[in-house]
Amino acid sequence: MSRKKLIIFGGLGVAVVALIAFNAASQGDRGESVRIEEVERRDLVATVTASGQIEPQRSVDISADITGRITYIPVEEGDTVQKGDLVLRIDPSQYEAGVARARALLASAEASALQARANRDQAKRALERAQELRRQDPNLVSDEQLEQAQTGYDVAEALATSAEHQVAQSRASLQEAEEQLAKTVLRAPMSGEITRLAVEEGEVAVPSNFSREVGLLMTVADLSVIQVNVRVDETDVVRLHLEDSAEVTIDAFPDTTFAGQVTKISKSAVRAAAATAGGTNQAVDYDVEVTLNDPPPGIRPDLSATAKIVTATRDSSLSIPIIALTIREHEPISTETVPQDTAGGKEETEGVFVVVNGIAEFRPVKVGIAGEEYFEVLEGLVEGDSIVGGPYQTIRDLRDGTPVRPTADRSEREER
């Protein structure tokens, strides 16, 4: 073979190798590797999850209204009591003495009142005699004598009235002393179970004027109706409604789920101060009560529980993965859902990347409720559309018009 032919064939070989390398490089850079999913119809359930504690619907904390040493406790924690049953007795000695003292003062006041009434009657008769004599003969009774008789009657009348008031005051004091004595005997205010017994015989009961915990003696609870008291964030509470169904899991019963309903949503917020001292940020939560339909035997107050409250459901609704929804600067899907930006005509709009002929095109969408993994689609997509469903980092950085190719691992799932 001549040298000229070798050079020609050699040049062709180099060109073929270069072409193969270029094709290989092109095949390896056909686009961004993404997970492609189709828009499908699914059953969606929107929920709000919150944690809290088990509480009876009705419970009463029993505390003392008087100070005294506890002499008798006929119940124990866990006992069942009926309304009116004796649950605690306080030493009545000083209060019995108070009643005796009040009764003696009342008797003394009544005696003084009796004497004052007698003096008033006597003064009245003296005044009437003086007036009668004056009518018969003005010379028999002088003006001064008549005036003295009138004054004596007025003074006696005032003293009698004062004595009557003193009797009323003594009677009220006796009633107060008897009420104080009656408070030495504490009875169950409702039927239920003793869920807390905070004192023992021999301790001193004190009124709970400043602290509920200081004066607490025991708690009676009606465990026939059990509820879960949870705190829901302000962004979620607006989606809740009375009688929304809920699934409740109790840590003490790990293998069982209990059904319940929302029975109360507080109107005022419970504000928790920020962890940083002096911080202005506050978490705004609302108390929500979920009543269990069939509480388990042996359930106790203060058990930890989690309620998953169903706020909305959709049957066979168009849906997209939550991870697929992103935000880009784009013309809004409609003027009703998003106001127009009069300055530039574009603004940040929610949407997804639809794959058309290997190209990712951003398309605004309007979504509805959110399930655990999928959004409901209201506008912008049709069933069967192919969209970019992940990974999240790729979707976040993806640009409109970028070539894409399916990832090799279609089963990949990431949490947003």
pLDDT, one tens digit per residue, over 89-116 is: 999 999 999 999 999 999 999 999 999 9
Average confidence (pLDDT) over 390-399: 89
The secondary structure element, H or E, covering residue 120 is: helix 93-136
Fold of 32-44+315-406: 2.40.420
Q: What is the average pLDDT value for the chain, to the nearest integer?
A: 84
Nearest to 338, CA basis, from 398, 399, 392, 379:
379
**Backbone conformation region of residue 154, classed left if phi is above 0, alpha if psi is from -120 to 50, else beta:** alpha
pLDDT in the model for residue 270? 85
- The predicted-structure confidence for 139-172, as pLDDT tens digits, reads as follows 888 889 889 999 999 999 999 999 999 999 999 9
The secondary structure element, H or E, covering residue 32 is: strand 32-38
As a dihedral over the C-alpha atoms of residue 246, residue 250, residue 255, residue 256, rounded to 10 degrees, the angle is -40
- Using a cut of 0.75, tell me whether the model's pTM lies above it: no
The secondary structure element, H or E, covering residue 62 is: strand 40-63
Nearest to 395, CA basis, from 373, 372, 414:
414
Q: Which of 174-183, 274-283, 392-401 has the lowest mean pLDDT?
A: 274-283
Residue 327 pLDDT more than 80? yes
Do 116 and 156 meet the contact criterion of CB atoms below 8 Å apart? yes
Average confidence (pLDDT) over 368-381: 92
Average confidence (pLDDT) over 121-134: 91
Q: In percent, how much of the chain has pLDDT > 90? A: 64
pLDDT in the model for residue 139? 84
Q: Where are the domains of the chain?
A: 32-44+315-406, 92-183
In whole angstroms, give the CA distance from residue 177 to residue 100. 9
pLDDT in the model for residue 72? 96
In whole angstroms, give the CA distance from residue 130 to residue 155. 17
- The predicted-structure confidence for 221-259, as pLDDT tens digits, reads as follows 998 899 999 999 998 999 999 999 999 999 999 889 999
